[in-house]
Chains A and B, each alone.
Chain A
């Protein structure tokens, strides 16, 4: 499906190494794909309402916000870092764009109304700034990204709380409303935005110099440094990219849900990480890509949606999701080991 090697075709590998090692080295790409096919087939058989055009549309819409956030997170994980602040940053950006928009009189928030484009720019600037703080903490001070973004998660949540003070805002600029909840020719705009961003992320990772550097830094950070790459700049950039993607996801999400409030995006942290990792991008960095993330998104989307179509205890669903995630993690770590063996 996917992967970093635009120039090394699978056929190259195959010729030089035989089929079994090839399959083993490609396990991280193959396993998630098989999971997706298996889940889809399972739900299609289990429920007549699952495999319909309408429902495919539902799934696409349901994974869009996660997809937008996961684009940036893919960059981060490819560099063998993590960003735990994505959901909080999405939340605060969504709240900010509402904060700078004129609300109906019954909304009890002391906000600062501005023209739509200014509100959007300010919200984007806010998420970029938060991403920059992550970047500086990680690269200049040297705080591990796990800790740094954990702190940022709190900081962003704190800013959200100060802006809305427990209230709910509804209005966002018209552009955001359209992109978040409108549709064109029957296709929701939010699906188009997600598709464009995923495609953009894929192009950047596969065809640009920066994308190559991301893979190299993730593959062997020390070697990247010895090659004279500016590793800190690259790490810093991916943190900012991640925050901005989260911000965009947050703004459209607010329009999509129809309201902006505290803790609205909490489930998106786990979902986004799960999408990237379930898709097969290596937690150790350097392997995987947007293609993997897309497969991961669909695995989660099909799972979440499919469980609604079959009759099971809704509390059991949570457990099932957890188990699937665990299985994906095991495959992820195991695939890394197989690959190392194949290259040994």
Chain B
């Protein structure tokens, strides 16, 4: 442990407010050379805000900022970059229209003496870097065409290999499946051993305990505790985070879990022999009223494509789809919604209006119902307020622009939108991504509630925990095909991983 040495980065009494909202209140934080520093805390606790201060995103704050023992102020991200600080943001900040190679070298493309970009060299080096990290893609593809998990990996790779000596990872594993997470951890440990300092934010307490040397806990804009990982436990951390007995909140799913014998209602959705180019092959299943169907698989197994087909955003090459026994071909997402299907996609950027207030984000799904021609803002706000309270979205102000909420709270808004609707079939992609333990538990309860009301629910995830905590029946998808179904039998994390 590095406690004896003086820290390379030391923050004292950092306070930061956004208008009336105090995001940080007098926080101390110290980072040593060659340590992995885990950061945990509830949604909106201020983790991202503190990291953005370190990375120069928020230049205005009060408190003392010491780098290498000298008082420093960054005026921009460029200053931070020059000081050797790199950050992977919680929201993907890749450039979707550029190629993979351009993204890897964003801002410092190799150029020849005349200042021309050396494309071939850039592509080759990007390819080498990525394959060192276990990513196998053509460096010349447009980044936006890749699945979100891969985009996230590429962004991580960019920062890890940028030569930064302080690396901040804000929920880097939220879109990754276990094999990529493993690779990431190995790389992090290697970088640490070479002397790099790493801050790692995650809502997966087990990951934090496993990979980090020191853990800091945030609550409500304050630092609650900082301990060596070896000296603490999951239960203690959760308790520090949310202040109540939290062990029962998070199940670790290492033991067998009994799936219920089928007692579900009528078939709401029947999918038969669905196929899509190289992504899906002859996928068939049924989703029933009052049942949560989990679909598990590694990144790139075809889940995303499947969810898009169910919601009318992609057209399958073959196969049929029937809702309540009637065959359907959806020409648009509007048609799918009219048929009673709702989708919460995995990417926040793709499903929310960041410049619009929270209530408009929530009411969009029900406008058709509450207003024939004229808008009814009072009613919209009332409905949104109810959802915000039910999901405990913080701050509970429906007039606030969505972009001002913390990541986890934005995710809740995305769910709130469809809760107000409510559909016959709800398709959730990574529904608890970026949520703290308490919020995950809330989501689990909400999904159970909806199930009790007779909705058919499909949960697609690359995290075994998500599927295990929600599903009554589980399909495992591998390279676009259903390879295993768990129904009315024992299942565990290991069995899922083995099947995938």
Contacts and interface: CB of A to CB of B under 8 A. Distances in A.
A, B: real partners? yes
Given A207-B375, A209-B374, A226-B345, A220 B353 contact: yes
A230 interface: yes
A209 B19 contact: no
A17 interface: yes
Interface in A204-221: 207-209, 211-213, 215-216, 219-220
B351 A8 contact: no
Contact of B355 (A16, A222, A287): A287
Interface stretch (B270-278, B393-401, B482-490): B393-401
A226 B401 contact: no
A212 B371 CA distance: 11
Interface in B306-365: 311, 313, 332-334, 336-338, 342-343, 345, 350-357, 359-360, 364-365
Nearest to A232: B332
Best-buried of A5, A6, A213, A225 by chain B (most CB within 10 Å): A225
A186 interface: no
Contact of B377 (A7, A213, A225, A233): A7
A171 B354 CA distance: 52
Interface residues of B, number: 45
A333 B365 CA distance: 31
A24 interface: no
A7 B381 contact: yes
A228 B342 contact: yes
A227 B351 contact: yes
Contact of B336 (A215, A228, A287, A339): A228
B417 A344 contact: no
Nearest to B368: A209
A16 B20 contact: yes
Interface residues of A, number: 37
Given A226-B333, A230-B332, A15 B351 contact: no
Contacts of B336: 228
B313 A212 contact: no
A321 B380 CA distance: 44
Contacts of A7: 359, 377, 380-381, 399
B367 interface: yes
Interface in A1-48: 5-8, 12, 15-18, 21
A229 interface: yes
Contact of A227 (B57, B374, B377, B417): B417
Interface string B460-493: 0000000000000000000000000000000000
A209 B356 CA distance: 15
A226 B20 contact: no
A227 to B, nearest CB: 5
B21 interface: yes
A343 interface: yes
Contacts of A226: 311, 313, 333, 343, 345, 350-351
A208 B373 contact: yes
Interface string A126-142: 00000000000000000
A197 B399 CA distance: 30
Contacts of A339: 355
Nearest to A22: B19
A227 B359 CA distance: 14
B371 A343 contact: no
B19 A16 contact: yes
A15 B333 contact: no
B18 interface: yes
B148 interface: no
B401 A343 contact: yes
A222 B350 CA distance: 6
Interchain residue pairs A-B with the least CB separation, the first 7: A228-B337, A17-B19, A343-B403, A230-B334, A7-B377, A16-B19, A227-B364
Interface of B: 18-21, 57, 311, 313, 332-334, 336-338, 342-343, 345, 350-357, 359-360, 364-365, 367-368, 371-375, 377, 380-381, 397, 399-401, 403-404, 417
Given A208-B375, A229-B333, 15 more contacts: A5-B357, A7-B377, A8-B357, A208-B373, A209-B372, A209-B373, A219-B355, A220-B353, A223-B351, A226-B313, A226-B343, A228-B334, A228-B365, A286-B355, A343-B354
14 contacts: A6-B375, A15-B20, A16-B21, A16-B404, A208-B373, A208-B374, A211-B375, A219-B353, A220-B353, A222-B350, A223-B350, A223-B352, A223-B353, A233-B334
